[in-house]
Amino acid sequence: MNKINYILLVCLVFFSCNAQDPTTFSKEALNDTFVTLQGDEITFNDILEAHKGSTLVIDIWASWCKDCVGGMPKVKELQKEHPEVTYIFLSLDKTQDAWKKGIEKYEVEGNHYFMESGWKGPFGTFVGLDWIPRYMVVDKEGQIKLFKAVEADDAKIKNIL
């Protein structure tokens, strides 16, 4: 093996071993502001505090998103299999009106918040949003147990729950 290939191999191993998903939310993500169904502003930290002691499945979605809507039956199945879990839906709809209509139209059961800052806000940037739906699992202590899944029936979600 020549010297360049050896260096590339060492770098690949080093960087792949250190590429680890976060287990806690950043200060910026925790301070990002969302909107409740009642129209009140709430920080992500306050959302987590309101559900402290519960395992959380976070679903980042939008009612205009074909994959999100198509995945809702899988979410509903997950909810049937794990009714003890708290389900938090963070919406990337374009307007709050569209968000509320989407919840009603698709009969989405859970805790709903509108992502006022959108894809590139502090929360979206922290989670590296590049696709929706996006699922995360947070344990009862507030630790991120699953940072990224794009299917509600992902085996990693089921194994953690």
What is the strand order of the sheet 134-138 is part of? 41-43, 33-36, 111-114, 86-91, 56-61, 134-138, 144-149
Tens place of pLDDT per residue across the chain (161 aa) = 555 544 444 444 444 444 588 899 999 999 999 999 999 999 999 999 999 999 999 999 999 999 999 999 999 999 999 999 999 999 999 999 999 999 999 999 999 999 999 999 999 999 999 999 999 999 999 999 999 999 999 999 999 99
- Using CA atoms, how far apart are residues 135 and 148, in angstroms rounded to an integer? 6
What pTM did the predictor assign?
0.86
CB count, 10 Å around CB of 18? 7
What are residue 28's phi and psi, to 5 degrees?
A: -65, -45
- Using CA atoms, how far apart are residues 118 and 91, in angstroms rounded to an integer? 9
**3-state secondary structure (DSSP) of residue 19:** coil
**3-state secondary structure (DSSP) of residue 30:** helix
What is residue 18's predicted lDDT score, i.e. its pLDDT?
Answer: 42
Spell out the alpha helix ranges (H) of 42-109: 44-50, 66-81, 96-105
Spell out the alpha helix ranges (H) of the chain: 3-18, 27-31, 44-50, 66-81, 96-105, 122-127, 155-160
Please give the domain boundaries of the chain with CATH numbers for all domains. 22-160 (3.40.30.10)
What is residue 20's predicted lDDT score, i.e. its pLDDT?
Answer: 82
Q: What is the CA radius of gyration of the chain?
A: 18
**3-state secondary structure (DSSP) of residue 65:** coil
